[in-house]
Amino acid sequence: MITNLISESELRQALALWLLENDIGVYLPAGVSKADYVETYRLPDFDFVHVQSYADANGDLVTLLKAEFSLKAWETKSGNEPKSFAFYKVIKTATDSPDLEQTVIGYIIT
């Protein structure tokens, strides 16, 4: 069983805060609080890479897909070293129907 799963909302909040802390091009506009920025932040589209798939106890397929948001050293607020925010998207595919319905069951930040 996978532990430490978070919701998409929690992933969005974590990435927004990470960007505020690390990305030289991200700042709070005048009159906007950190909470307001985090609440309105929209996740970008990610290119996911398949990492692993396995069958769970019910015979459903669980798939781990990895994505990463990277900043080059010059894009960071410190300017000294590159930074990256990596996470996994966990998908469950029910195999008991011909439709093979997929459900996102959560995310794992690494």
At 5-23, the pLDDT tens digits run: 999 999 999 999 999 999 9
Q: Which helix (DSSP H) or strand (DSSP E) does residue 106 occupy? A: strand 102-109
Whole-prediction pTM:
0.86
The residue written with tokens 């459900």 in the block is 103
d(CA 21, CA 47): 23
Q: Kindly report, residue by residue over 29-54, the tens digit of the pLDDT.
A: 889 999 999 999 999 999 999 999 99
Max CA separation in the chain (angstroms): 53
∠ CA 58-63-64 to the nearest 5 degrees?
135
